[in-house]
Structure 1
Amino acid sequence: MRQLLYNAFLPLCSSLSLKDIHAFGRGLGWLMWTALPARRKETTARIRDRLGLGERQARELARASFRHSACAFLELFHARYMDYRFLAERVEYENPELFARMCSSPRPIVGVTGHLGSWELLGGVLKCFSSKTDCQVVVRLPKDPALSDLLMHMRSQSKIRVLPHRDAAVSALGQLRGGGLSAFLVDHNCRRAEAQFLPFLGEVAAVNKGPAILALRAKAEVWPCFLLRLPEGRFRFVTLPCLDTAGLTGSRAERIESICRFYTDAVERMVLRHPEQWFWMHRRWKTRP
């Protein structure tokens, strides 16, 4: 039954313009805010405690986060329409020299980002500008098989291969050792066995060390990048300076921690810049040391 529902939902959302998707997303965000009082209260408290805000300001920021997160998930249905014309008309680049270096680098690249801004559209930028002939995106999939199939279908594009994170290690390492690019969302909560525990927004969080281990084994460059949502259907691509793991010293554990700390700090800086565009509903601090 759910498969039929998702199959009916797919052509409907895929036919919408980006403007319509954002209008739909704002409406969906309002509906979630209204219909999920427990999650609304939890998100507000999380923002208040992590950012040190008053109750009223935290509540307004939480409401904006609901809207932005709903828009971000629905932008999945527009990801395949990201082409050179779209990018030329709608995307501006912060640190364009770093963006050019990332796209032209002959080294293995681990791209890292978070659930911030328009993360579902990031693959379209990499597809158009990366010098790599084949880019991998490693994702966590929901437990619902029908929904997983839908997400895999929508995220897969020319030059973009999507891998479920549980089965990604061998393929991603081979991709990197061949000089390719593998991209990860690094602000998920994760299991204790997978975690490096580090401070994030003032509280210790479980940071997935899988991308760090792969980067270290492949001697890759780690590039943080983010696609922020601007008014009127425009976007800003932010590229931050990279970490060259080939130059790290210390024990293996110390180098892995350094890489984890590097990409965790990058996400934290961007969340503090644009807290309304981060996915605060996620239970980021669920796994404890």
Structure 2
Amino acid sequence: MKDIVYALLAAWGQGWDFDTVAARGELLGRALWRVLPGRRDMACEAMGRLLGLAPEQARAAARASFGHNGRSFLEILLSHRVDPRFLRERLRIADPAGFEALRAHEGPVVATTGHLGAWELLAPVFHLLLPEREKQIVVRRPKDQALHELTTRLRSRPSLEVLDHRNAAPRVLRCLHRSGTTAFLVDHNTGTSEAVFLPFLGRIAAVNRGPALLALRAGALIQPLFLLREGRGRYALHTSPGLDTRTLDGSREARIHQAALFYTQAVECMVRRHPEQWYWLHKRWKTQPPAGWTYAPPQT
């Protein structure tokens, strides 16, 4: 029954255009602001403490982030509208030379991004801009099976494979060894067994080591990518210089640390530039290192 309800809601939502999703997403964000006081207070406190904002500034920025997050939740319904016309009329590539360097790269690529801006639209943009490449995205599977099946269907494309993060490593490595591209969201909290503990926005966070390990095993380029909003219905694709993991020195753990720190700092840089577009509702710093642990980068 649940799958039928989800399918009907998705079919209804897929009839919306970009302006409708923007307006209804902002309404959803305002509703979340009202009904989630704990997450609201958490976001205000974190933005004040970690970004150095005064209380009123932090509250305004947090409120804006709820509006952006509401839009992010609904933008998955627009995936089918990301087409060549979208690229021409709605997308700006912020660094054309940097993007062309990525397009020209002949080896494997681990693309990293975060819950920032229009992250749900990044997959179809990724699909269209790199048509010749074998491509994957690795996502965290929700507990709701019907929701998982729906979101996988909405995200998938003929040349874009959507993988559940559990047991994804063999398929990711096969893709990378064929000089393909695999994308990961790298700014979510993770369990201690999967984590390398690194500073993020001035506080220690559990960072998923998996993308770093897979990139190292394949000798891949780690390429940060972000799709930010520029007003209603317009977007900008941001890249920054990538990291060739073949150039890293030191022990295995030291190289994992360097690679994970690289993509964590790339996310932090974009969050500081566009804090209102990040997912502050998430309990990012939930997992913490054991008592007595201190941060000490390994020697290379």
| Range into which the TM-score falls when normalised by the shorter chain | over 0.9
Contact (CA 8 Å) 1:103, 1:131: kept in 2 or not?
no
CA distance in 2, matches of 1:7, 1:238: 33
Aligned to 2:292: none
Percentage of matched positions with identical amino acids = 46
Aligned to 2:207: 207
1:232 shift after superposition: 3.0
1:20 shift after superposition: 0.5
What amino acid maps onto 1:217 in structure 2?
Answer: R
CA distance in 2, matches of 1:40, 1:125: 31
What amino acid maps onto 2:178 in structure 1?
Answer: G
1:5 shift after superposition: 2.0
CA distance in 1, matches of 2:74, 2:151: 11
Question: Residue deviations 1:241-278, cap 9 Å, x none?
Answer: 00000111111111010000000000000000000000
Contact (CA 8 Å) 1:104, 1:131: kept in 2 or not?
no
CA distance in 1, matches of 2:287, 2:83: 39
Aligned to 2:220: 220
What amino acid maps onto 2:167 in structure 1?
Answer: D
Q: Deviation above 3 Å: which 4+ runs of structure 1?
A: none
1:133 shift after superposition: 3.4
1:3 shift after superposition: 2.1
1:134 shift after superposition: 2.2
Contact (CA 8 Å) 2:22, 2:232: kept in 1 or not?
no
What amino acid maps onto 1:199 in structure 2?
Answer: P
For structure 1, the 5+ residue unaligned runs are none
Contact (CA 8 Å) 1:132, 1:180: kept in 2 or not?
no
CA distance in 1, matches of 2:47, 2:142: 25
CA distance in 1, matches of 2:10, 2:104: 35
CA distance in 2, matches of 1:95, 1:206: 30
More helix, by proportion:
1
CA distance in 2, matches of 1:85, 1:105: 26
1:25 aligns with 2:25: yes
Contact (CA 8 Å) 1:127, 1:158: kept in 2 or not?
no
Aligned to 2:269: 269
Aligned to 2:106: 106
Q: 3-state SS of the aligned residue for 1:217? A: helix
CA distance in 1, matches of 2:116, 2:261: 18
Give the number of equivalent residue pairs: 289
For structure 2, the 5+ residue unaligned runs are 290-300
CA distance in 2, matches of 1:206, 1:125: 29
1:210 shift after superposition: 0.1
What amino acid maps onto 1:37 in structure 2?
Answer: P
Aligned to 1:174: 174
Aligned to 2:68: 68
RMSD: 1.0
CA distance in 2, matches of 1:190, 1:32: 24
1:117 aligns with 2:110: no
CA distance in 2, matches of 1:97, 1:218: 25
Contact (CA 8 Å) 2:155, 2:162: kept in 1 or not?
yes
Contact (CA 8 Å) 1:221, 1:245: kept in 2 or not?
yes
Aligned pairs (5 A) from 1:59-208: 59-208=59-208
Q: 3-state SS of the aligned residue for 1:232? A: coil
CA distance in 1, matches of 2:69, 2:2: 23
1:164 shift after superposition: 0.5
1:131 shift after superposition: 5.0
CA distance in 2, matches of 1:247, 1:80: 39
- Using structure 2 for the length normalisation, give the TM-score: 0.94
What amino acid maps onto 1:209 in structure 2?
Answer: R
CA distance in 1, matches of 2:181, 2:4: 35
